[in-house]
Structure 1
Amino acid sequence: MSVPRAFIFDVFGTMVDWRESVAREAARAFSAKAITTDPYAFADFWRGRYDPAMERIRSGGRGYVQLDDLHRENLDETLAHFKLEPFFNEQERDTLNTAWEKLDPWPDVVDGLHALKAKAIIAPCSNGSIALMTRLAKYGGLPWDCILGAEIAQNYKPEPVVYHACCNALRLQPNEVMMVAAHNNDLHAAQACGLQTAFIARPIERGPGQTIDLAPNGDWDRVIDRISDLAH
């Protein structure tokens, strides 16, 4: 295996703790209105609308829509599910939707990226938009060299076009690029496109009852415990 010239990363769950962070922002919004809804249940339901919303686009049932807008649509569904629609006007919903720009990195991420950045190109390969990834990087101190992912491909992972678009943007062959993710399905898709792969477990991404992605289930090039392992 050759040393990768670039490392591209899944972000939600792999690099940042979306569940704890979104629940925190929801709890703040609920507290201001004396709402007693469980913020973790709210975060889980909101995130649960994520893949079905993207699948309509992947399957050709809808043209490409940035994830910011899908999150906003999914927020309306989530508020309706918890019967919270009367509590939030449009401006308050837009504000709550920015919760996805305020996701805390896992403890190993920032230092690990800095160590790796000294040796190779690093970039997100996320379903998040360029705007979302940029604001999230500013919030969490993620030192990307550039922003790649769904928006440059006008489609969503795990469609092959997303991985190929990232490699093409860097003018690198797929075997010169390593995809890093905490989700085995992401790595299966990247591997099928010819990319190198690295798995890192995030066993509490989905909360204490998580049952999937606790261990690698493919023949990945690397299985790491922390992002800095890639720099070594």
Structure 2
Amino acid sequence: MSSLTTTVKAMVFDTFGSVVDWRGSITRDLTRWGQENGFEADWTAFAVKWRSMYQPSMEAVRSGKRPFTILDVLHRESLEVLIKEFGLEAMTEAQRVHVNKVWHRLDGWPDAVGGLTRLKSKYIIAPLSNGNISLLTDIAKYTGLPWDLNLSTEVFRCYKPQPQSYLGVCAALQLEPGEVMMCAAHNDDLLAARNVGLKTAFWPRPTEHGPGQTTNLVAAHDWDIVARDIRDLATQMGV
């Protein structure tokens, strides 16, 4: 482990699910908003369905079927489908804009701010997320995430797990892949990062998808670090 703490210079973090609780946050936010504005829905089901549209919408960009399009726009397109599906057509344009920006108002997991603050004392820390720049900036301000910089994949005009997203970080920071650690609660994200030479750290978020979650409960590979959470990751990284 000591070799990692001297070799690694930067640690980049998947954000949705790994650092912030999208499902719980959206449910809480829209439940409150719905009560205040006269809209009723199963907001947990709404959040889960919205998230299920995330990968297919990005795949159209990754495959080249459409030009690079930021996540806020993809989320809005998905939202329009959900509005019809959940019978919420009475929403005004201003309300739709507000609801779409719920992704900018996500709460961190309880260990996130404290763990990241410790890591920042020694390492460069940044999100490496498919969220766009303004989205990640707003989350950081809302939740108090202490990033050194914002490495949205918007910077690289691609979406994870495309290799250029991970290698783009290395180029931006002028570091070798082995000096950058990808940190996430998702095994597939880490595998893509490892495949282009990055170091890897995993911790589980067993309630990200709710009580019936079956994926990413344990490390699927021999990642460089397997931690309990971000605080434990900081301990294992010597801070």
**TM-score normalised by structure 1 residue count:** 0.96
Deviation, 1:219, is: 1.8
Q: Which has the higher strand share?
A: 1
Deviation, 1:91, is: 1.1
Counterparts of residues 93-172 of structure 1 (less than 5 Å): 93-172=96-175
In structure 2, C-alpha distance between the alignment counterparts of 1:96 and 1:150, rounded to whole Å: 23
Runs of 5+ unmatched residues, structure 2 = none
Are the aligned partners of 1:26 and 1:43 in contact in 2 as well (CA < 8 Å)? Answer: no
In structure 1, C-alpha distance between the alignment counterparts of 2:151 and 2:230, rounded to whole Å: 19
Given the alignment of the two structures, is residue 228 of structure 1 paired with residue 234 of structure 2, yes or no?
A: no
**TM-score normalised by structure 2 residue count:** 0.94
Deviation, 1:29, is: 2.7
In structure 1, C-alpha distance between the alignment counterparts of 2:120 and 2:36, rounded to whole Å: 41
Deviation, 1:32, is: 2.8
- Equivalent in the alignment of 1:38: 42
**Selected match of 1:182 from 172, 182, 185:** 185
Report the identity percentage. 50
SS at match of 1:16: coil
In structure 2, C-alpha distance between the alignment counterparts of 1:164 and 1:193, rounded to whole Å: 7
**Selected match of 1:62 from 63, 66, 69:** 66
Runs of 5+ unmatched residues, structure 1 = none
Deviation, 1:33, is: 4.0
SS at match of 1:13: coil
1:117-160 CA distance string (max 9 Å, x none) = 00110000000111111110000000000000311110100110
One-letter code aligned to 2:122: K
One-letter code aligned to 2:69: V
Deviation, 1:12, is: 0.2
Are the aligned partners of 2:136 and 2:152 in contact in 1 as well (CA < 8 Å)? Answer: no
In structure 2, C-alpha distance between the alignment counterparts of 1:55 and 1:115, rounded to whole Å: 35
Are the aligned partners of 1:18 and 1:104 in contact in 2 as well (CA < 8 Å)? Answer: yes
The number of residues matched between the two structures is: 231
- Equivalent in the alignment of 1:11: 15
One-letter code aligned to 2:77: E
Are the aligned partners of 1:25 and 1:96 in contact in 2 as well (CA < 8 Å)? Answer: no
Are the aligned partners of 1:7 and 1:122 in contact in 2 as well (CA < 8 Å)? Answer: yes
Runs of 4+ in 1 over 2 A off after TM superposition: 32-36, 228-232
Are the aligned partners of 2:10 and 2:124 in contact in 1 as well (CA < 8 Å)? Answer: yes
- Equivalent in the alignment of 1:20: 24
RMSD: 1.1
In structure 2, C-alpha distance between the alignment counterparts of 1:136 and 1:113, rounded to whole Å: 14
One-letter code aligned to 1:170: L
SS at match of 2:128: strand
Are the aligned partners of 1:181 and 1:198 in contact in 2 as well (CA < 8 Å)? Answer: yes
Are the aligned partners of 1:19 and 1:40 in contact in 2 as well (CA < 8 Å)? Answer: yes
